[in-house]
Amino acid sequence: MNNTHLTYHHKKNINIAVVFLSSLVISVLLAAIFIIASLQNEQVKLQKIAHFYGDHFSQKISTSLQSLSRNLTPLYTMLILHDGRTDHFERVAEHIAHTNPEIININLARNGIVTNVYPYERNKIALGHNLLEAEQRRQEARLARDSRRITLSGPFQLVQGGTGLAFRQPVYLPSPENPQQKQFWGFAIITYRFPEVLLKQMDFTLPDLNVLASRGFAWALWRTDAVSGQPVTLLTSKASLTNEPQRHPVYLPNTTWYFDICPVNGWLDTNTIFLYVYFSIPICILLSISIMQFSMLLNKKMKYLFSQRWIFLQTFITRELSGSSLSQP
């Protein structure tokens, strides 16, 4: 009897443990599915926000710098109308310089060699500088000459000091021997202070970029160096980028920069994952305990109903047997 009683309780404990562990496993699986789905939704949300900001700032940078190339038009027109003569250079350059205080210098480079500079005193050291042969200039200078398109060069360290961003307009004039053909005359060049011109142009300001930091995003503006082929960071946030930033091209005259952006904590925030797991564990345990208690209550109720039916069945059989015995002669 004692052995039977112990065996019964042993089986009962095993059943309770099985119910608890089974419910715990199922709860953990459901919690894992919920966490993964929530993290994926969070990641998609972050990607959409980053894409919006990346497109906004890359287009704003592109528009800001593209508009600066229009300042070359008076110089180009002067050279075309006067067949390459530079008699009016000082007057035209002075007018252009007054339109943008971030202009460092305005130069003409006949055959790629700097021949005219404005303002003169501050920039006369650049006279005679051969853009087509200088190690740090020739790649982009030759690109502008050969493509016959305005080309953005830099930022780079200037011969006369400071950091500049140069727009080079290649000038082609009719050949004296054959007016139907055009030959390379040289460059019209305007150089701006960098990054001041970018931050000022088209109301592009650092407070705009600080919005990204307040929203938890890191960013970097960079280009590929024309000589080394290595990435060069031009502007960046205080926070570092992760290994998988979104990359948004910034299309500029005859070149492309890039604006990278990503969440400071990565696309899957470890703090968020920890919070999900931290709150899921007690919920899973409480859910498993509730299921176990419900199972025990249900088992107890079923046992009670079974015992009541068994008593009823025994009573019925006893009565039937008693009735059968009394009816016999």
Q: Which of 252, 231, 250 is nearest to 144 (CA)?
A: 252
Q: What percent of the chain has pLDDT over 90?
A: 37
pLDDT band at 208; cut points 50, 70, 90? low
pLDDT band at 8; cut points 50, 70, 90? very low
Residue with tokens 């200039």: 137
Strands 151-157 and 255-263: unpaired
Which residues, in sequence order, are CB contacts of 172 under 8 Å at separation 6+? 148, 182, 183, 184, 185
Q: Which of 153, 161, 152 is nearest to 137 (CA)?
A: 153
pLDDT band at 318; cut points 50, 70, 90? confident
Higher pLDDT, 228 or 256: 256
pLDDT band at 32; cut points 50, 70, 90? low
Out of 25-39, 137-151, 206-220, the most confident range is 137-151
pLDDT band at 111; cut points 50, 70, 90? very high
**Structure-block tokens of residue 180:** 């139907």
Q: What is the 3-state secondary structure (H, E, C) of 65-112?
A: HHHHHHHHHHHHHHHHHCCCCCCCHHHHHHHHHHHCCCEEEEEEEECC
**Structure-block tokens of residue 97:** 């310089």
Q: What is the mean pLDDT of residues 246-259?
A: 94
Residue 326 pLDDT > 60: no
Whole-angstrom Cα Rg for the chain:
40
Please tell me the predicted confidence (pLDDT) of residue 197.
86
End-to-end CA, the chain: 42
Q: What is the mean pLDDT of residues 95-117?
A: 93
Residue with tokens 């508009």: 67
Q: What is the mean pLDDT of residues 168-194?
A: 92
pLDDT band at 239; cut points 50, 70, 90? confident
* Residue 293 three-state SS: helix
Please tell me the predicted confidence (pLDDT) of residue 270.
61
Distances (CA, A) of 251 to 51, 54, 132, 148, 270: 16, 13, 24, 17, 35
Domains of the chain and any CATH numbers: 70-199 (3.30.450.350), 205-265 (no CATH)
Please tell me the predicted confidence (pLDDT) of residue 304.
67
pLDDT band at 285; cut points 50, 70, 90? low
Tell whether the torsion through CA atoms of 7, 12, 15 and 16 is positive or negative: negative
**Structure-block tokens of residue 154:** 């830099």
Per DSSP (E only), the strands in the chain are 103-110, 113-118, 151-157, 163-174, 182-193, 217-224, 231-236, 246-252, 255-263
Residue 234 backbone dihedrals phi, psi, to 5 degrees: -100, -45
Which residues, in sequence order, are CB contacts of 96 under 8 Å at separation 6+? 71, 74, 75, 103, 106, 190
